[in-house]
Structure 1
Amino acid sequence: MSRRRVLAAGVGGTAAVAAMAALGCGGKSSSPPTPTPRRGGTLRTATTLPLVFGLDPQVETGTGLAIFPRVYGYLLHVDPSDDSIVYDHAHTVEQPDPQTYIIRMRDGLRFQDVPPVGGRAVTAEDAVLSLLRFRDNPLVLNKTWHATVLDAADVIDPLTVRITTKRPYAYSIAEIGAIGAGAILPKELISDVDLRSSGVGSGPFRIDAVENGTRVRLARNDGYFRAPVPYVDAMEWRIVESDAARLDAFRQRAADMIPNRDRLEAEGLAKSTQGVETTIEPALAYLSLGLRIDRAPFNDPRVREAIDIALDRDAMSRDIAFGDGQVLGPVNPHLANGYWSLPRDEIVASQRGADAIDARRADAQAMLAAASAAGARIRLQVAKMPQLLDVADVVASELRKIGLTIDLETLDQLAWYVNFRRGDFDATIIGQLPYEWPDQPTRMYHSGGIDGAGNMFGFADPAIDALIERSWGEMDRGERQQTLLDAQRLMIAARPMIQLFTSTAYSTAWSYVRNRRPGVAGSMAQYNYEQWLDVPS
C-alpha cells in the first residue's frame, strides 16, 4: 500500500486543502519579487485535483478555490496571522456598537464587461444580495455564522452596507470577507443562474474558457481597479488524471507550476531538474479520530484515553507524512504561527508521547480491561478517498495491537459526511478542512456542535461550553487566546475527538515564476494577483 497518497490532497485528504497548496504560495522560496515586473504571458498550473462544484464561489471545494478568488471582488479580508483587516472593495469599516458594522465601498468599481452585467458599477446591493445568497443557499455546507449569528444585512446607500449580528461575535468581520461567503456576485446572477462554468465578477481576471472540467482559462480584466495588476495576460489550470501526467506537463514546460504529491516528489524534482524552486507550506488541515462518546465502549473515559495513548504518532509521521507530521491539539499549531494552539509539550504529555510505545500499549490494554472493553468491536467509518483510506488502515492496525476488533466501513464521501453530521457512527476518520480561525475547530467540542443543532460526538461539557461561548464575545485577541487555551486543556482531557497529526504541503515552479509571495499562508495566498513571468517577450 502506498503511504504517499495521503499528501496528494494535503494531510486532511480534502479537496480544499489541495486547492490551497496548488497556488504554490506560502512557506519558503528562493524567488524574491523584483522591482520591475514584466507584463504578459500565461501562468499555467497542472493538478490532479478536480473541480468539485465548478466555479461557483459559494460551494466549490476543489481546484476552483484557487480560481474563483481571481474572478470575484470582496469587501475585505481578515489576515488570520494577526487579525488585521485587508481592504479590497471596501475602504472603511466602522463599528458604532458591538453588533453593528458599517462598511463603505470604494467609488468607481466596475464589474467585468461581460453579459448580462455589461461592466456596470459594483454597488452595496450586490454585496448584500451575495451575502444573503450564501446564507440561503442549500448547497453551502459550512454557514454557521450566517445561520446563527447574522441578524440582517442592509443597503444604506449605493456604496454603504450595514451588517448587524444577534450578539457580539469576534469572527464577524472574518466571516464577511471569507473566501467563499465574501465573493461579490452581481445581482443579475443571484437567482436561477448556474455558476459552475460561468460567472461575472469585479476581480482581476474574467472567465475566458471552461472545458469539461479539464481546463479553465482566465483572461486579464483590463478594467480592474488596481491596474497595472494583474501582470500576466492569463492564468490557466489543467486538471489531469494522474501524477505522471502532472509531472510530464511540468517537465515539458506545459505547466509553470504544480502542487506536489509529497516531500519526496518535491525533493526529486529539485534534484533532477535545473531551474525549479520548491515552496513549503505548513498545512492548516489535519486528521482526527472522532468517537461517539454516548455509546459503549466510548462512554467510558478510560477507553478513550487508552486509544489516545496507544496511537503511535511517530510511526504515522514516518510512514504517512514522510517525517513531516506534527502532533496537535484541538487547534492546529500551524494556524497563526501557533498563537491559538496549546504548547507542544502539553499535547505530547496528554498523549504520553515521550513514553515508549510498548509501555503505552500495555497500559492501554490494562485500561481497556478495567473498563470491561478488552476485545471490543468497533465500527470505524472512513470516506472512500485514497488518502483517508491509508490513514484508516494505519489507525485500525494500531488499535488491533491493543486487542480491539476494528471493522472498517468505507463510504462514499457524501454518505460519510451525512453520517458525520448526524453522528451516525461509532468511530470515524475526519479529514479536517484548513480552518483559518479557532472558531470552527473549537465548536466541534460545544454541546450544540458546529451549527447549534447538536454535537455529532454526543458530547456535552458545561465548562467547555462556557469557555467557547465566552470566546465568541471577546474582541480582545489576548483575552480570547487565554480563554481558548483553557478550553483546549479541558478538551484534550475529555477526548471526544482524538487528534492524529497535521503535515506540510509542497509545490514546485519554474524559477521564472516571480512574486509567489513566500510566507503568505492559507486563503490569503489566493489573493496574490501580482505574480508574473520573468520571460523575455
Structure 2
Amino acid sequence: MPQRSESHWKGRAASMSDYWERLNKRRIPRRAALKAGATAMGLAGAALVGCGDGGEAPATETPAAELTPQHGGNEVIGLPADPGGLDVQQSVTGYWVSGNFNGYLHSVNLDDQKVYPQMAEKVEHVDEVTYVWTLRRGIKFHDIDPTFGREVTAEDVVFSMERRRDDPSIMNDKQLLRDYTASMEAPDPYTFRLVNTRPYAPALDEIGNPSYAIIPREAIEKWGDLSQHPVGCGAFILEEYAKAERVRVRKNPDFYMEGRPFLDSIDWALIPDVSTLYQAFRTKQHDSCGATLDKLKVEELENTPGVIVRDSPNYWTRCLLLRVDRPPFTDRRLWQAVDLAVDRQDLIDKMAFGEGRFNGPVSPYLEYWCLPQEEVREFYKVDIAEAKRLVAAAGYEDGLEVDAPVMNTANLTKDAEIVREHLAKIGIKLNIQVRDIAVLLAQHLYAGNFQMLWFYNLPYVEPDRPLCQWFSKGIAGLSFTGYYSEEMDNWIWRERSEFDPEKRREIVLDAQRAMMREHGPQINNYTPRGWAARWDWVHTVEEGRGLGLTSRNFLGIDTWMTARH
C-alpha cells in the first residue's frame, strides 16, 4: 500500500475546499446517506488490527453489485477480546460491538470527508461555531424495556450529549462538550442545535464518532448505565452478553433505515488465543476473521479457496507513553535516549514480517494527514552511542530500572519484549508488567500510575485526537503523561481553528514535525500493515474504502449473506 503522492493530496484538498458550502447547501438524499462500506467485520475482527478497506477484489470474487442482497442469515465473527461492557459512551474498547445498538446523528466518510446523515436528515454548519441537525421523524428506540418503541426526539440528543459530558464514569474525551460548547438545545422535537465558544474544525468528525451515540434517559435512570442493558435505536438489539465468551444480537425490525439490516442476527465469539481464533475462521466456524493477520497468514488465506482477503488500513497505532512529571522522565535527555534506542525496523521485521510503517504522531495509514513515510524514517534513526551518552548525562551512568505496564495482548507484550532488548543496550532495564485492559486503563493510564506504558491509540480517523497526546488537556480531557508545552498547545489550536482543508493539512504536518522533535511524551513506534478476511458468502451492498468508525459498514447494516458452502 504505497503512500499517495503530494499532487494527489493537493488535488483532493482542492476538491474538499468547498466542503462547508456543499454541506450547508445540500440536503443529502437518502440514497447517498445509505452509501455502503466494507465488510461487516469492520472493526469487529480488527479490534486490535485496523479498519476494513475496500481494495481491489480478488479475480475470483463476484462483485457485490452484481448480486441481489438477501435478507436473513446469522453472521459469526471472531473477537480477540471482550468489549469491556456494552455502554458505547463508557467503553473505549468495545465500539465494534456496542455501536450496533445505537443511532448516530451522522458519520463522516474518511475517503472524501463528506458528512453522511444517519438519524439526521440534514446537517447544517451555519457558521464557524453553530451546528444544526434536523432529525428524521418516526425514529424509534428499541421495542424493549424500558423504552418500548417510543419515538426519539431532539431532547434525547440533548440528554445524550449532557450525559457524555457530565457522567464521571465516561472516560471518552469531553473537551468539545465540556470546554468549548456554549449551548446545546432542542428548540423543537426534531431540531438539535449546538453552539461552540470558538471555532473548532474537528467538531463534525468528533460528533460522528461512536461515543456520541443517542441513548434514552429512562434506560440510564433504570440501570445506571448501559454496560449490560444497551438500549438504543440502532440496527440490532441485544439477545445475550456472556462476558469473555460471546455477544449475540438480533435485528431491530423498526430500524429507521428502510430495508436494513439484512442479517437476522450476529454472533461475536470471544477467543483471546490468537491461534485458536485464526483456526476458527480457517475451519469455517467464523464467517469473518477476527485474528490479527500477518504476511504469512495472508499468504495462506490467499491460497484458500473461498476466502476473500483485502488490504485494511490499520489505524491502531502502537506507542509507548512516558510519565514526564515524575522521575526518571522529568529529565528530557531520557526521552530522547529512549527515542533513539527504539529500533522501529527491527520491530516491523520481527512482528510484521517486514510489512509495516514507522509511526509519526498521526497514523501512517491516515494518508491525507500523516507525514511522508520517508521523512519519518529519516527522523527515527537508531543511535545507540548517543542514547547511552544521554542516559549517562542524565545521571544514570550505572543504568536505571523502569516499570512498564503493558496491555495483555500478544502483540503488545511481544513489542515490549523486543524494546526491552533495545533499551538494555543503553542501560535501561525494563520491568514489563502485563495487565488486563480494564486494569491498565483504570489503575495505570487514567490514574497516571506508570513510568512507561505500552498502549494502542484508538483508530482515530481525524488528526486532532492523536495530536492531543501533546496537548495540555490530553486526549480524554486530561494529560495521561503530565506533559505541558505552550508551543504544542498553540499548534493544536492553530489546526483546530482552520477550516480550509489544505491549509489545515499543512498546519497538521508542521505540528507533527514539532512534536517529533520533542522525543516524547509519546514514543511513536510502528504500525503493521493490516488485512481483513472473510468467506465469500459474506457480502456488502457496495465495496468502499475508508469509512469512519460510525460508518454503516462498521455497524453491520449493509452486510448480507448467501449460503455457506
**1:414-456 CA distances to partner (integer Å, 9 max, x unpaired)?**
5543443454433332332222222222122123433555x44
1:283 and 1:504 in contact (8 A); partners too: yes
Percent of pairs identical after alignment? 30
Q: 1:266 to 1:410 in 2, by over 3 A?
A: closer
> 1:401 aligned to 2:425?
yes
> 1:430 aligned to 2:455?
yes
Q: 1:155 to 1:328 in 2, by over 3 A?
A: same
What aligned pairs does 1:223-262 form with structure 2 within 5 A after superposition?
223-240=254-271, 242-262=273-293
Structure 2 partner of 1:100: 130
Q: 1:376 to 1:114 in 2, by over 3 A?
A: same
Letter in 1 for 2:492: I
Q: 1:212 to 1:365 in 2, by over 3 A?
A: closer
Q: 1:396 to 1:85 in 2, by over 3 A?
A: same
Structure 2 partner of 1:12: none
Structure 2 partner of 1:490: 514
CA distance in 2: counterparts of 1:38 and 1:274, whole angstroms: 23
> 1:480 aligned to 2:511?
no
Q: 1:129 to 1:488 in 2, by over 3 A?
A: same
Q: 2:363 aligns with which of 332, 356, 366?
A: 332
Structure 1 partner of 2:70: 38
1:26 and 1:521 in contact (8 A); partners too: no
2:52 and 2:545 in contact (8 A); partners too: no
> 1:349 aligned to 2:372?
no
Shift in Å, 1:218: 2.2
Structure 1 partner of 2:408: 385
CA distance in 1: counterparts of 2:219 and 2:494, whole angstroms: 39
1:24 and 1:259 in contact (8 A); partners too: no
> 1:72 aligned to 2:96?
no
**1:447-479 CA distances to partner (integer Å, 9 max, x unpaired)?**
3433555x4444333222212112222222222
Deviates more, 1:404-413 or 1:91-100: 404-413
CA distance in 2: counterparts of 1:298 and 1:269, whole angstroms: 44
Structure 2 partner of 1:282: 313
CA distance in 1: counterparts of 2:197 and 2:433, whole angstroms: 41
Q: What SS is found at the alignment partner of 1:486?
A: helix
Shift in Å, 1:83: 2.7
Q: What SS is found at the alignment partner of 1:257?
A: coil
Letter in 2 for 1:467: W
Shift in Å, 1:493: 0.9
Deviates more, 1:158-167 or 1:205-214: 205-214
CA distance in 2: counterparts of 1:41 and 1:150, whole angstroms: 44
Q: What SS is found at the alignment partner of 1:67?
A: helix
| TM superposition score normalised by structure 1 | 0.86
Letter in 2 for 1:483: I
Structure 2 partner of 1:3: none
Letter in 2 for 1:50: D
CA distance in 1: counterparts of 2:361 and 2:407, whole angstroms: 25
Letter in 2 for 1:87: P
Q: 2:545 aligns with which of 492, 507, 519?
A: 519
Structure 1 partner of 2:322: 291
1:20 and 1:522 in contact (8 A); partners too: no
CA distance in 2: counterparts of 1:51 and 1:459, whole angstroms: 30
Q: 1:71 to 1:349 in 2, by over 3 A?
A: same
Structure 2 partner of 1:376: 399
**1:110-164 CA distances to partner (integer Å, 9 max, x unpaired)?**
2333333222222111222122222222221122323322333211111001112
Letter in 1 for 2:119: H
1:375 and 1:405 in contact (8 A); partners too: no
Letter in 2 for 1:441: P
Q: 1:526 to 1:373 in 2, by over 3 A?
A: same
Letter in 1 for 2:307: V
Aligned residues: 511
Q: 2:205 aligns with which of 140, 163, 174?
A: 174
Letter in 1 for 2:254: G
What aligned pairs does 1:309-328 form with structure 2 within 5 A after superposition?
309-328=340-359
Shift in Å, 1:403: 3.0
Q: 1:378 to 1:325 in 2, by over 3 A?
A: farther
Q: 1:109 aligns with which of 118, 139, 143?
A: 139
**1:219-259 CA distances to partner (integer Å, 9 max, x unpaired)?**
22222232222222222222235345434543443321122
CA distance in 2: counterparts of 1:208 and 1:197, whole angstroms: 11
Q: 1:121 to 1:246 in 2, by over 3 A?
A: same
Q: 1:216 to 1:460 in 2, by over 3 A?
A: closer
Q: 1:343 to 1:530 in 2, by over 3 A?
A: same
Q: 1:487 to 1:123 in 2, by over 3 A?
A: same
Q: 1:105 to 1:521 in 2, by over 3 A?
A: closer
Shift in Å, 1:172: 1.6
Shift in Å, 1:186: 2.7
CA distance in 1: counterparts of 2:390 and 2:51, whole angstroms: 46
Q: What SS is found at the alignment partner of 1:203?
A: coil
| TM superposition score normalised by structure 2 | 0.82
Shift in Å, 1:263: 1.3
**1:493-528 CA distances to partner (integer Å, 9 max, x unpaired)?**
111222111123333211111128352355134145
Structure 1 partner of 2:252: 221
Structure 2 partner of 1:134: 164
Q: What SS is found at the alignment partner of 1:308?
A: helix
Q: 1:267 to 1:187 in 2, by over 3 A?
A: same
Structure 2 partner of 1:506: 531
1:434 and 1:522 in contact (8 A); partners too: no
2:111 and 2:545 in contact (8 A); partners too: no
Shift in Å, 1:319: 0.9
Q: 1:370 to 1:104 in 2, by over 3 A?
A: same
Shift in Å, 1:43: 1.4
Deviates more, 1:279-288 or 1:112-121: 112-121
CA distance in 1: counterparts of 2:148 and 2:363, whole angstroms: 44
CA distance in 2: counterparts of 1:501 and 1:17, whole angstroms: 20
Letter in 2 for 1:45: I
1:280 and 1:506 in contact (8 A); partners too: yes
Shift in Å, 1:104: 0.6
> 1:85 aligned to 2:115?
yes
Structure 2 partner of 1:150: 181
What aligned pairs does 1:13-32 form with structure 2 within 5 A after superposition?
18-19=46-47, 26-27=54-55, 29-30=57-58, 31=61, 32=63
**Residue ranges of structure 1 left out of the alignment (5+ in a row):** 1-14
CA distance in 1: counterparts of 2:427 and 2:348, whole angstroms: 23
CA distance in 2: counterparts of 1:241 and 1:394, whole angstroms: 22
Structure 2 partner of 1:9: none
Q: 1:490 to 1:241 in 2, by over 3 A?
A: closer
1:325 and 1:503 in contact (8 A); partners too: yes
CA distance in 1: counterparts of 2:334 and 2:534, whole angstroms: 47
**Residue ranges of structure 2 left out of the alignment (5+ in a row):** 1-42
CA distance in 2: counterparts of 1:210 and 1:37, whole angstroms: 29
